[in-house]
């Protein structure tokens, strides 16, 4: 049940950011949920491979290269999902930063509700 709520909150975060950021668009709420699912799958499967392959660069940049990996995953999701578009690398980087922040905020609200 908690997994379904997290996916729905991630979809909500994608919709909110698509309304705020001018170069990020999502066609529908269903597409936003698909984006949330695809992003979680890409983070589960592709992200560890990219982290291992770029480990020397990540160490040299003191971990800042992980932000680039997050933007690459957003662009990969853009290519996989037809109703989701991000116009360029810098918008993907900004989207990934804001999505992480908004998800942590929403997940903390979910955890506080579960404890009470």
- Does position 116 have pLDDT exceeding 70, yes or no? no
pTM, whole model, 2 decimals? 0.89
Alpha carbon distance 67, 55 (integer Å):
13
pLDDT at 2: 84
Alpha-helical runs (H) found in 21-54: 29-53
pLDDT at 89: 96
| Spans of all domains in the chain | 2-111
CA distances from 81 to 30, 49, 75, 91 (A): 12, 21, 10, 17
In the chain, % of residues over pLDDT 90? 86
pLDDT at 114: 58
Report whether 73 contacts 42 (CB < 8 A).
yes
**Length of the chain measured in residues:** 116
List all residues 6 or more positions away from 28 whose beta carbon is below 8 Å from its beta carbon: 83
- Does position 93 have pLDDT exceeding 80, yes or no? yes
Report whether 73 contacts 46 (CB < 8 A).
yes
pLDDT in tens, 28-75: 999 999 999 999 999 999 999 999 999 999 999 999 999 999 999 999
- Does position 106 have pLDDT exceeding 60, yes or no? yes
The rounded mean pLDDT for the chain is 93
CA distances from 90 to 52, 80, 94, 113 (A): 23, 19, 6, 35
Alpha-helical runs (H) found in 1-116: 2-20, 29-53, 55-60, 65-80, 89-115
Give the pLDDT mean for 19-24: 95
């Amino acid at each position: 049940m908690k997994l379904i709520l997290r996916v729905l909150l991630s979809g909500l975060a994608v919709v909110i950011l698509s309304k705020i950021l001018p170069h990020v668009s999502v066609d529908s709420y269903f597409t936003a949920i698909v984006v949330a699912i695809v992003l979680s799958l890409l983070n589960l499967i592709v992200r560890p491979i990219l982290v291992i392959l770029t480990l020397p660069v990540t160490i040299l940049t003191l971990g800042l290269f992980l932000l680039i990996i997050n933007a690459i995953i957003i662009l990969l999701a853009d290519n996989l999902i037809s109703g989701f578009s991000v116009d360029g690398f810098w918008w993907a980087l900004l989207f990934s930063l804001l999505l992480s922040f908004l998800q942590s905020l929403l997940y903390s609200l979910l955890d506080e509700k579960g404890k009470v």
